[in-house]
Each structure stands twice: as structure tokens, then as C-alpha cells.
Amino acid sequence: AIHACAFNLLSSLLGMLLEFLPSQEKKQQAVNLPDESGQTPLMIAAAQLDHHGGLRYQTCELLLALGADKSIVDPSGHTALGKFREGQRTIRDMPGTLGLARPDPDHRFDSVKAMEALLKPLLGPTEADDALLQEDDDDESSDDSMMDYDGGSDNED
């Protein structure tokens, strides 16, 4: 139920559900319990697309206040920060996949910066988390090179 609340960004229901646990220690254990794929509620909430503005931040903030550990690493080597970055990539890539204009890179910059700061593990991002930023840089440079492609330079015999 806690993972489902995190997935749906239902912070008020999440808070109410955790009130049934008798101690802060039990709450902390519950918010750090990974699901069958190794995802904690914080990772799940961080990865969600937030169509209502602020719900993802509010849910992650509540989970952290309840003792969620932002340094937990999933089987792919990502923390909640990495899951957030994966979600941001989805938002960025979705319009391009559908043939629509890509969003302005400065769009919602402050909210992205705030989420990055909220989710950054005390010891910093993992290599897998940072690799997502590197892949984004590589994608942008390959997008630029595709625009310069003349169609015949690879097949010169």
C-alpha cells in the first residue's frame, strides 16, 4: 500500500497510512522497504511524472521526513536521484518520440533543481546516477550531429 501511494503521489493518504504504525522506527522501516524489483517508495515517487505540479516533491519530502533513506541503491545502481533523472529523461524524450517539438530545456528548471537538491544522497550520486547526466549530454550532441548529416558521407567507395 505504501508503494502504491508513492506511485500515485498520494502524500496525504501515505501519511494517514503510516499513522497506523506504532513507532518512528516502524515507519522508517516501512518507507525504506524495497519492492520485488528493488524500488523503495522514495524511488517510486521520484520517478513519477508530476502533472499537477508539486505532488512529486511533496510526496518525496514527506517520505524523507518519515525517515526514507535517499542513499539506498536499487539493483541497477540508481538512488532515488537517479530514478528522478530517468523520469526527467522520459519527459524530455516523449515529445521527440511522438514527432513533436522538444520542450524548452529551461522549462521548470527551478523545480528540477529543487528535486535534485532534495534527493541528492549525503555521499553524492552513484556512478549510475551520474551516468544518466552523461548520457543526456551524449544524446544532445548526437542530436546536433544528426542535423548536420548529409546522407552520403558514410558510403564513400
Contact 79, 130 (CB under 8 A): no
List CB contacts of 48: < 8 A, sequence separation 6 or more. 6, 7, 9, 56, 87
Distance CA 90, CA 84 (A): 10
pLDDT per position as a tens digit, 86-121: 988 766 665 544 555 444 444 456 788 899 999 999
pLDDT in tens, 26-74: 999 999 999 999 999 999 999 998 776 689 999 999 999 999 999 999 9
The grid cell for 82 is 537517479
